[in-house]
Chains A and B, each alone.
Chain A
Amino acid sequence: MRRSGVRTVVGALVAFGVVALGWEVFARSGSLPPAITPPVEAIAAALARMIGDGTLFVHVGYTLGRIAAGLGLAALAGVPLGMLMGRFRPVERFVLPLVSVLSPIPSLAWVPLFILWFGLGNTASVALVFYAALFPLILNTWTGVCSVNRLWIRAAESMGARSGAIFRHVVLPGALPFVIAGLRQAFARGWIAVVGGEMIAATRWGLGWVIFDSKEFLNTDVMLGSLAVIGLLGLGVERLVFAALERRTVERWGLVRRTSA
């Protein structure tokens, strides 16, 4: 386990090293103007500058805050709705067609409308994350409730559990693997939405806004540096938050196998 973990990390480092080296060769080859293909040192220097003056942390803070708010609201709405769909047929018949039609629309396609409705700023970005995150949460929760083992429900009934207790003690934990999978998907979609949304809808702060703003002055080093931060941050949240959540719940219960790190 540990050895394979070390190997995975080494493999990743080698892969990134090769890509960085390739980029370096390409950047210095002069096939494109150096101003738009900054070498790795320039990207690192831009990042160091942003860390030094603290702006990077503010951008990261805004972006994380927006996704947390959007994801949180989506979970508050989507998980209960998915539960109701799983339990009550009429709710399912009402909600499912709406979800089926709305879910395939890319969240970014809503940006212009959201700006008209909510103006530039936080609200539009949060609304965008909410939209992107809502449907994976609804659909996964609904699937989770539908696939709760009937035997657990029978066993609980035979031990005197009434419907409220069955819901709390059987359906909720039984559906949890799906809810967590839904959260993961929702985060992945929300992360794309927040960065994309910030490019157009944000003012002054946010990782997406930095990238778009840097276009004005051809600050490609800042753009590439921010892209790297976006990638690393997405991976970090996935690994730290969701993997930890899984380890504590569904993995401990043997409901899913450990995903290789």
Chain B
Amino acid sequence: MRHIEIAKVGYEYAGTAGPVTALREVTVDVATSEFLCLVGRSGCGKTTLLNLVAGFLSPTRGEIRISGRIVTGHGLDRGVVFQDFAQLFPWRTAQRNVEFGLEMRGAGAAERTETARRFLRLVDLERFAGAYPHELSGGMQQRVAIARALAYNPAVLLMDEPFAALDALTRDEMQRLLVDVWAETRKTVLYVTHNVAEAVYLADRVIVLSPHPGTVVADVRVALPRPRDPLSLAFLEYQRTIVGHLGGRG
């Protein structure tokens, strides 16, 4: 079933030196519970596309539908995780950060506490429920952000290079954890990255964007069983294919 439909979407920024066309004629469908990765070089419009789906921006052309309804703004059917660790509220503990969405929805205190605990456990941070963000490492902060985006139970999870600022070892760990979380929650995930190996590790499907203006150049289905072995020949073959679509060194 089609969950997210991006139909002939274009987006133009009113830049200071005249308009900048960030996206042109982008058409992508994401199935329910599918894990879709958007890859492309820096500046090709990945963040723009994610912000359009999140409802922070409105398309200048085309339309985006979620569960058949046109997106007109942000909504509780989508959870967003940003790249920047600073997305957490520094004045709230991990627990209270995760409770935020439930609080906005008017959930009672008992339900909030219970649900937040459950999602902190899901990202393996139950012991740090009482810690403030600045007391947590970057990887832990991003895990809190994932728990926070999932806690109010959106059907769609939007992630913009959430692990790009982490060291390689932590990133591998986080990718494994994310696959587990996804397997357990069965969310529809739209995940932006410029890291091809990450895309092949995570995705059911990889969409390759080319820059200036951003447009879809390839749609690759990754038919590898999970958990995936990044050193297997088949894995490397997928990487090679996608790097080829990116046009060169990746």
Contact = CB atoms under 8 A, between A and B. Distances in A.
A29 interface: no
B132 A159 contact: no
B182 interface: no
Interface residues of B, number: 28
A155 B91 contact: no
A255 B135 CA distance: 11
Nearest to A157: B74
Contacts of B128: none
Which bracket fits the contact residues of A? 20 to 34
A170 B74 CA distance: 17
Contacts of A158: 54, 56, 74, 78-80, 149
B56 A160 contact: no
Contacts of B149: 158-159
Interface stretch (A30-38, A58-66, A102-110, A246-254): A246-254
A165 interface: yes
A160 B80 contact: no
Interface in A228-261: 249, 252-255
B152 A160 contact: yes
Given A158-B74, A160-B101, A254 B87 contact: no
Contact of A253 (B56, B74, B84, B91): B91
A254 B56 contact: no
Interface string B120-161: 000000000000111100000000000011001000000000
A173 B133 CA distance: 15
18 contacts: A151-B87, A152-B86, A154-B87, A155-B82, A155-B89, A157-B74, A158-B74, A158-B78, A158-B80, A159-B100, A160-B74, A160-B76, A160-B152, A161-B104, A169-B89, A253-B90, A253-B134, A254-B135
Given A155-B87, A159-B149, A253-B90, 7 more contacts: A154-B87, A155-B89, A158-B79, A160-B76, A169-B103, A253-B91, A255-B90
User: Nearest 4 A-B pairs (CB), nearest first?
Assistant: A254-B134, A159-B101, A173-B91, A253-B90
